[in-house]
Amino acid sequence: MRNTIIYTFIVLVFVACTGKSLTKEIDYNASVTIPIDVLKDKIKGGWAGQTIGCTYGGPTEFKYRGAMIHDQTPIIWYDDYAKETFEIDPGLYDDVYMDLTFVEVIEKYGLDAHVDSFAQAFANAEYKLWHANQAARYNILNGIMPPASGHWINNPHANDIDFQIEADFAGMLTPGMINIGSEISDKIGHIMNYGDGWYGGVYMSALYSLAFVSEDIPFIVSEALKTIPARSKFRLCIEDVIRLHKQYPDDWKKSWLEIENNHAFEIGCPEGVFNAFNIDATINSAYVILGLLYGEGDFYKTMDIATRAGQDSDCNPASAAGILGVMYGYSRIPHYWKPAMEKVENLDFPYTKISLSRIYDINLKNIKELVLRNGGKVNDTSVTVKLQEPKEVRWEESFTGHFPTERRMINKEFHENPVEISFNGNGIVLMGSIKQLQPDTSNYIAQLEACIDSKTVENFKMPFDYVKRKYDIFHKYQLENRSHKLEIKWLNPHPKYAIQTKDVVIYSNKNPESKRPY
């Protein structure tokens, strides 16, 4: 009760200082003054909310693929839950420690740090990565620097969720300065993503920026979308979520089903092609928005819907809860969730030297600098932000002219003999990894050569080291659309290792029509 009274007083002070309430009306020609106490509360709410959401959804991550988590399926929470997760499953918090990697670069080199500093920091970090992040890490460690490291020609996971779950920090730095958040996202997001994968991060950053200055959820959901090109698949999907919420305002599951039917077909990430698994930024962003719209400002309901929508069900509630945390401040997060945060707030996040209690102060310092840089004012009691009207970022599209036509199971080991695959199309991705057959401590790195139609197209490395691994064995796009033969040669075979091939995905330049077996 005391916290509610304090926050009500803070909001009244905010209204008195600005002449406007935290509502739908935003005059982009004006400035907004935010008392320091309010700003600190929002910063704390954003980082704590993200951590709560990630912890809450962690046990269900990718266990429900193309399926909702039933209402009768319990999702646990208790006061020691986050602390135990820090100790037992630190990798769960990649949502947060990836953000903090970029914050640490800013701490070391300043807000104008070169993109290569961010790229090298995350590529050389000790933590494990997956999908677009790991493909980008491999690219960077092998000389392909951003933005090429995230481009779909070099990264089959360019549309994946990776930057979406890491862009929180950009929005957290830019209250009301939505276009500065987009600029930060342009620099960092193209390290690992492109097209719809990049748009996922731009959109999340915009939602956080607006949550600092508005408490109207439908408004910020629609307004933030103005940053995304109108013809992009990403924007069309989120517009559908908004439309379906209006059509079925009391039934998020009906909306979920239509979104699934219309937008859940994966074309990029090879693990998701013709599969229930979907790590695409578009569909997972849609689940964040489902949580925000149908949650109606209720912290638990928002987080629970974003989780029960399935797929990346720790990342999506983390974003939704983080955005609400900024909107309402830590003081208005229900007390039920706070004992767990109090137990971890002074613990450094895995692989970083930053705790929740420390990131609050770092975040406030960087906000003040960005406010001053962008025409605002800062004093001991408040910051005055010059608001920015959302601008549409540039058009990008991944996998243009490529449509998946076949997923073929290979699932064989090879030792010395080449892998040979005949296919018909304009692109191919071969999944697989290095498999250790006997114990070895030599830090082995396989050297491979890829030939298409008897011509060498690439020589590349496959480290056994899981942190430095190549995420897919080989990929090639923009081939002439016809019959081809892929041959993978192992140049330095080792008796203690094998190349484990998995599935292969084949693309064509024509969208295949539905086929009947008779």
Query: Hey, where are the domains in the chain?
Result: 2-386, 403-508
CB 221 within 8 A of CB 293: yes
How many other β-carbons are positioned within 10 Å of the β-carbon of residue 61? 17
CB 384 within 8 A of CB 377: yes
User: What's the Cα-to-Cα distance from 56 to each of 50, 106, 315, 337, 464, rounded to whole Å?
Assistant: 10, 29, 10, 10, 33
DSSP summary character for residue 330: G
CB 235 within 8 A of CB 401: no
- To the nearest 10 degrees (0 to 180), the angle between helices 36-57 and 196-211 is 140
Cα–Cα distance, 26 to 23 (Å, whole number): 8
Per-residue pLDDT of the chain in tens (518 residues, 90 and over written 9): 333 333 333 443 343 333 333 445 688 989 999 999 999 999 999 999 999 999 999 999 999 999 999 999 999 999 999 999 999 998 899 889 999 999 999 999 999 999 999 999 999 999 999 999 999 999 999 999 999 999 999 999 999 999 999 999 999 999 999 999 999 999 999 999 999 999 999 999 999 999 999 999 999 999 999 999 999 999 999 999 999 999 999 999 999 999 999 999 999 999 999 999 999 999 999 999 999 999 999 999 999 999 999 999 999 999 999 999 999 999 999 999 999 999 999 999 989 999 999 999 999 999 999 999 999 999 999 999 999 999 999 999 999 999 999 999 999 999 888 999 999 999 999 999 999 999 999 999 999 999 999 999 999 999 999 999 999 999 999 999 999 999 999 999 999 999 999 999 999 998 876 555 55
CA diameter of the chain: 76
Beta bridge partners of 435: 498
DSSP summary character for residue 280: B
Helices (H), 313-354: 315-328, 338-342
Q: What's the Rg (C-alpha) of the chain?
A: 23
CB 320 within 8 A of CB 221: no
Three-class SS of 449-479? EEEECCEEEEEEEEECCCCCCCCCCEEECCC
CB 295 within 8 A of CB 267: no
Phi, psi of 170 (to 5 degrees): -65, -45
Task: Give kind and range of the element (H or E) at residue 130.
Answer: none
Query: What's the fold here for domain 403-508?
Result: Jelly Rolls (2.60.120)
Cα–Cα distance, 344 to 358 (Å, whole number): 12
CB 423 within 8 A of CB 506: yes
CATH of domain 2-386: 1.10.4080.10
The pair of three-digit structure tokens given for residue 109, joined into one six-digit string: 């080199």
Chain centroid to Cα 473, Å, comes to 23
Predicted TM-score (pTM) above 0.85: yes
How many other β-carbons are positioned within 10 Å of the β-carbon of residue 414? 18
